[in-house]
Structure 1
Amino acid sequence: MPEWVEVGLRGLLFLLVLFVMTKLLGKKQLSQLSFFEYVTGITVGSIGAEVVTGLDRNIFHGIVGVVVFTFVPFLVGLLSMKSKKFRTLVEGKGVVFIKNGKVMEENLKKERYSTDELLELLRQKDVFQVADVEFAVLEASGDLSVLLKKENQPITLNMLGIKVPPVKEPQTVIMDGKILDEPLATINLNRGWLMGEIDKLGLTVDNIFLAQVDSSGQLTVDVFDDKLDVPPPQEKEMLLASLKKCQADLESFALATEAADAKAMYSLHSERLQQVLKKLDPLLKG
């Protein structure tokens, strides 16, 4: 058998073996690697490459080596789940880099991180000033977790005491110019409603690359022609503007009328509508 054919067959065989072994190790092998898993991955790949190209070697020995280096991390994973001490030994633990707003220089030196590297990790978290950080820890995976000081944390609606309804995931109703009926049914809509919304935009289904409906029922589209500017949905803004106009009209009526009963009625409903607007304003803006 020609050598190139044998190399090809060995390559296919080891691709299959490595695939099976990687599936056994789980998804973690593909995402966040510990030091142990990193070393194991390099070793398994080296064994595979050596056996595939080394025609004078015993292929069975290569398979045994791959199995060994797959079984060991599998066993380590099981032991790590059962023992916190063993997990800490194998995978490591988080190290505090910033505590109470102060950089822990000794911990930086222990982990062999320079100040520049710390600043780089902070910038990756959109933090550009150390003084803004209350607490930061280098996780065992090598990622930096950052807690900003209270005054530097972004303001949320919960902090303002504003309650909002839960937001559900948007549904893709058109993809590659084709209507998807199942997502439409999921949000209790139909093709008739969809075609009406598309007509308002002056488009056809064939023009649309992607269309999604958000939890409030607004349709957003992306068209095939990148030069075509499609206006964003404005139903919320229009509703907010209409409500504000109604409230302003009620105030005007209250000022214009001389009848005491009518003035009291207009003022009462104006105040009620003003309260409604305060609650709806954060929901209808944008």
Structure 2
Amino acid sequence: MLLIFVQAAVSFVILLILTRLIGKQQVSQLTYYEYINGITFGSIAANMATDSFDKFGDHLVGLLTYGALTFMAALVALKSRKMRKLINGEPVVVIQDGKILENNLRKMKLNLDEFTMLLRLKDIFDFTQVKLAIIEPSGGLSVIKKSEYENVERRDLKLKLEGTALAVEVVQEGKISVNNLNRLGLDEKWLRAQLKMRQIVDVAEVEYAVVTDNKRLLVDLKNDAITDTVTLIDKL
């Protein structure tokens, strides 16, 4: 029992020293690489604390080696943009001028349900109001609204205060949600007529579509006509 206590105390001190040397960030700002590193450190330290004493040295060498490699990688990343991009990843544009960039979402392994959740967490319920949306290396979402939709205090403009209802999804990846249309008192005929007004013949062309509380249809196509996609990091 005493031996385990000593091993745990030693592993705790070593882990504390290593994490102080490597540096610290808020959990919400960690990249996936840093997150996995943290899990690995914790796993090695846990084995070091609870395993038999004859394996203590092996775990210690493993922990120190992993710590040294991580420290060196962090130093290299500080001095080299190419290595920083390789280790931490890069920000990726996922909405540009109110249009969802589906290929970039797929690169980030994000589906539409996860992406719309991230938008809602940013108080964005109408993706067409977004000038630019960026998935950061930490996995967080940064959003710039179009200038006409920038937040203004309604009381400053002496406007009538009204509640905002959640937009209802009616098409995802070319498939119509008949149940959601029925909940809104609408039908597939209405939807196809709305799409036809936008010169969309086949619903399979639609990646994502929602209906707002005032029965306005917002549509994002699978193949948006964006010829000049924004790049946040220059090619190295």
TM over 0.5: yes
Listed as ranges, the gaps of 5+ residues in structure 1 are 161-286
Per-residue CA deviations over 1:157-214 (Å, capped at 9, x if unaligned) read: xxx9xxxxxxxxxxxxxxxxxxxxxxxxxxxxxxxxxxxxxxxxxxxxxxxxxxxxxx
Matched, 1:112 2:124: no
Matched, 1:138 2:135: yes
Q: CA deviation at 1:21?
A: 0.8
1:124 to 1:85, Cα distance in 2 relative to 1, 3 A: same
1:52 corresponds, among 27, 49, 70, to 49
Between 19-28 and 47-56, the greater mean CA deviation after superposition? 47-56
**Residue of structure 2 in register with 1:77 after alignment:** 74
1:42 to 1:110, Cα distance in 2 relative to 1, 3 A: same
**Residue of structure 2 in register with 1:36 after alignment:** 33
Large movers: runs of 4+ above 4 Å: none
**Residue of structure 2 in register with 1:149 after alignment:** 146
**Residue of structure 1 in register with 2:58 after alignment:** 61
**Number of aligned pairs?**
154
Q: Aligned letter for 1:53? A: T
1:74 to 1:120, Cα distance in 2 relative to 1, 3 A: same
Q: CA deviation at 1:57?
A: 3.1
User: Percent identity, aligned pairs only?
Assistant: 37
**Residue of structure 2 in register with 1:25 after alignment:** 22
Q: Aligned letter for 1:44? A: F
**RMSD over equivalenced CA pairs, Å:** 1.8
Q: CA deviation at 1:11?
A: 0.8
- Rounded Cα–Cα distance in structure 1 between residues aligned with 2:81 and 2:8: 39
Greater relative contact order (CA < 8 Å, ≥ 6 in sequence): 2
Q: CA deviation at 1:59?
A: 1.8
TM-score scaled to structure 2, two decimals? Answer: 0.61
Q: Aligned letter for 2:19? A: T
Q: Aligned letter for 1:51? A: M
Tell which structure's C-alpha radius of gyration is larger: 1
- Rounded Cα–Cα distance in structure 2 between residues aligned with 1:27 and 1:81: 14
Listed as ranges, the gaps of 5+ residues in structure 2 are 158-236
